[in-house]
Chains A and B, each alone.
Chain A
Amino acid sequence: MNHLPVLPILLPLITGALLVTLPRLGLNAQRFISLGATVAGLGLVLWLGSMVLEHGRLVYALGGWAPPFGIVLVPDRLSVLMLVLTATLAVPALIYACRGDDDAGAHFHALFQFQLMGLNGAFLTGDIFNLFVFFEVLLIASYALLLHGGGTARSRAGLHYVIINLIGSALFLLALGMLYGLTGTLNMADLATRISNAPQADQPLLQAASLVLLVVFGVKAALLPLLFWLPRAYTAAAAPVAALFAVMTKVGLYAMIRVFPLVFALDQPLAALTAWQWLWPLALATLALGGIGVLGATSLRNMTAYMVIVSTGTLMAIIALGSTEALAAALFYLVHTTLLTGGFFLFADLIARQRGAAGDYMVVTAAMKDRRTLGILFCFGAVALAGLPPFSGFVSKAWMLQASLAEGAAGIFWPLLLGAGFLMLVALSRAGSKFFWRQSPERDHDMRADRVRLACVIVLVGAGLVLSLAAAPLMDYTRSVAAQLMAPGDYVRAVHEAGLRLTGGH
């Protein structure tokens, strides 16, 4: 049996455990190990990706225990997309952290690895209780990472973040208890079969379980009534941590598009699910609130946090349409927005480091030394984020508008998406003019931008250009991901056949 699918979980686990247990390892050695493991992880998920492209989907039974009783990892096209995205974001974020942010508290690198382990595990698993466990792994690592560096703002934001996520975990367990009580299984493929054959009397409880799951994933993804923890937490976190957190909200979205089409919609259209019908109005409200938040933000970091909310609202609204084309457009936008917002968290920190006490707050202060380089980069980033041509924001937005038109939802979706894009443009130009054009007459700040940090920001912001140049192959890929997600029967069959193979056909 090929053990490749489990390696993206084992590699960060072993690295993190080594970093914790090796006594008095110097910071440079820690950086070397952590960075080496993260880059190796990127290579690993690309290798796994090529295997998945070849076979369409792999089923890996942990310990050789046959599904549905054992835990399975099911890397498919969606998993690979998320894994590669996470690894691509993690490398620049970690390099950025190695320039000094990792020194602000203990065990940064170990926690970073555990966070990656949780993320990779959540994207790979085919067992819903295992999904819960990996959620916990990534959350526990994120609690400590959020507090990394200390300070009152982090303590306050951290308290909210931890409490709301603990309540989320409790609700997750309630939903799993209901599902297990009704079906007697936790394997997602087996759950799907049993739920589609469930007696009529069980339907209300199954619906309740699906709605509780919507709340749980909504907390993680920051859907409207459950998003108020996000701006404060993401603003307070250290920059590389916030950049990695850009992919954390996407875990909630991933869980939704993994669990709902497969487990609850095996024999009915996705749009007919009660949970899915709730998604559309909530997503639109999230989008509107995110747009207003972007305009009202007082610092660039805070603004980026609200842009994460805008992206959540956009993604949820477009997947709520439930068509294959809309899902493909959403996945393209997901890649774009994760890399760009992650890059902007780093960028805000880079700017803040050169403005002395003013930080990244939108106030006028003395001119920055590197204002030309940073200004041009900011202009590119802002254009890409707001969704103007020629960057990937434009490609994804145009595709989403097209997809919503085909579903007859353009009347509400177009004004909101374009309006939020406009508000983002206004807010970003206001920030740009405060940072780069208007200067107080004092002597210039003499801090130069750190070259390595600058390079990390350029890589992530430059992703906007790369994604738009390589749009055609990526669009084809997200289409194939969406097609695979919309055919949950194949998933069920693949897991079932793997179970038969392992038990010798009985």
Chain B
Amino acid sequence: MSQSNHSNYCLDKLIGFVGDDPEAIKNMVNLFLNTTPSLLNAIILSFKEGSSETLAKSAHTLKPTLDVFGIRDTYDLIRNIEQKAKRSELDETMDKQIKQLTTTLELVFQELKIDFQLS
């Protein structure tokens, strides 16, 4: 593994959980890359469909994972999305927040794929 200096993620918390074991870390990164896009899609889709309950649930599920990956600024962002969805405030601000979240995560996915040589 070689984490680039410009990374939008930080693996310190993940290493705290799984230990300094490159193979285990790579497996967890792979799992993150396999599971997170579907959660992100669920957020985008439920916003489009106005399904605040599904949106709140998906945001709630994604929240701790973003924390573990130390992804810059996204923890507060996902927290806001979850709280607003719980209040059924699916407004323009939330649309912007979801777009911002999508951009950051797509960037992180790219960085992780490069850093861990995963396709």
Pairing of A with B: no
**Contact residues of B with A, CB < 8 Å?**
none
**Contact residues of A with B, CB < 8 Å?**
none
